[in-house]
């Protein structure tokens, strides 16, 4: 069971660290960390957890990554449900801890602030359409899987995978925060959407469907076109 606990713990840290940076620190007057800081925070959560638990569970922290690695022949089908359940649970716990902290501020309103939830149309930071959000999430997750599979290939330089993967997630956020607030991770999206409810839950479907499709595409590209 230690690998399932590791996945839950790692996803908890990803949501608390990444979404927490957006909710608590990004817009703080005069010294807020902004888009660059939030992007780095997400990358750092993956980087730190990859070193902490990568040797235990592989440090997926993401249902789309687990499914993509299965498509790519790197993960067993029998582990998919336990891994995904652990990741979603960890994300919800991370979102809950963040909600308890954020609600300690006078005037806090999760729905009004968005609580780092992912969205499209009127709930996209840049008011991007549903189609733009769908394309963005598919392409970004596909690229994420290609980097993950390449960095962890036995032919790749050893010991550098966490750095490459963490920096890739940082880059993905730098590109796509204005479009969707960046998901590429259904557990991350679910972990905060539950505490917003309303529009965040009604749009959550896209942030499950698009990352999973993108992960499968990316894994197929690497396995079929790049790994040979």
What are the pLDDT digits (tens) for 123-137?
999 999 999 999 999
The average confidence (pLDDT) of the chain is 95
The CA distance from 59 to 66, in Å, is: 10
Phi, psi of 60 (to 5 degrees): -75, -55
What's the whole-model pTM score?
A: 0.94
Does the pLDDT value for residue 227 go beyond 90?
no
pLDDT (0 to 100) of residue 27: 80
Average pLDDT in the 94-98 region? Answer: 97
**Would you state the structure tokens that stand for residue 216, as one six-digit string?**
């499968």
pLDDT (0 to 100) of residue 31: 80
pLDDT for 9-62, tens place per residue?
999 999 999 999 999 998 887 788 999 999 999 999 999 999 999 999 999 999
Which percentage of the chain shows pLDDT scores above 70? 100
Query: By the 8 A CB rule, do 180 and 133 touch?
Result: yes
Average pLDDT in the 186-213 region? Answer: 97
pLDDT for 55-87, tens place per residue?
999 999 999 999 999 999 999 999 999 999 999
DSSP string, the chain: -HHHHHHHHHHHHHIIIIIHIIIIITT-TTT--HHHHHHHHHHHHHHHHHHHHHHHH----SHHHHHHHHHTTSS-GGGHHHHHHHHHHHHHHHHHHHHHHHTTSTT--HHHH-TT----GGGSTT---HHHHHHHHHHHHHHHHHHHHHHTSTTSPTT-HHHHHHHHHHHHHHHHHHHHS--S-HHHHHHHHHHH-HHHHHTTTHHHHHHHHHHHHHHHHIIIII--
Does the pLDDT value for residue 210 go beyond 80?
yes
Does the pLDDT value for residue 113 go beyond 90?
no
Which percentage of the chain shows pLDDT scores above 90? 88
């Amino acid at each position: 069971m230690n690998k399932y606990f590791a996945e839950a713990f790692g996803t908890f840290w990803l949501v608390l660290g990444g979404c927490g940076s957006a909710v608590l620190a990004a817009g703080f007057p005069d010294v807020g960390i902004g888009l660059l800081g939030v992007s780095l925070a997400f990358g750092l959560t993956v980087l730190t957890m990859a070193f902490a638990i990568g040797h235990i569970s592989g440090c997926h922290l993401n249902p789309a990554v687990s499914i993509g690695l299965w498509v790519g022949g790197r993960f067993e089908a029998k582990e998919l449900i336990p891994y995904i359940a652990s990741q979603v649970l960890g994300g919800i716990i991370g979102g809950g801890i963040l909600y308890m902290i954020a609600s300690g501020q006078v005037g806090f309103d999760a729905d009004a602030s968005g609580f780092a939830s992912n969205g499209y149309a009127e709930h996209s930071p840049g008011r991007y359409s549903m189609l733009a959000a769908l394309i963005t999430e598919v392409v970004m997750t596909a690229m994420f899987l290609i980097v993950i599979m390449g960095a962890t290939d036995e032919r790749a330089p050893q010991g550098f995978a966490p750095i490459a993967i963490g920096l890739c997630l940082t880059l993905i956020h730098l590109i796509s925060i204005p479009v969707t607030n960046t998901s590429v991770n259904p557990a991350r999206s679910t972990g905060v959407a539950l505490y917003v409810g309303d529009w965040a839950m009604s749009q959550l479907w896209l942030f499950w469907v698009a990352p999973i499709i993108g992960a499968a595409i990316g894994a197929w590209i690497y396995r079929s076109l790049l790994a040979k």
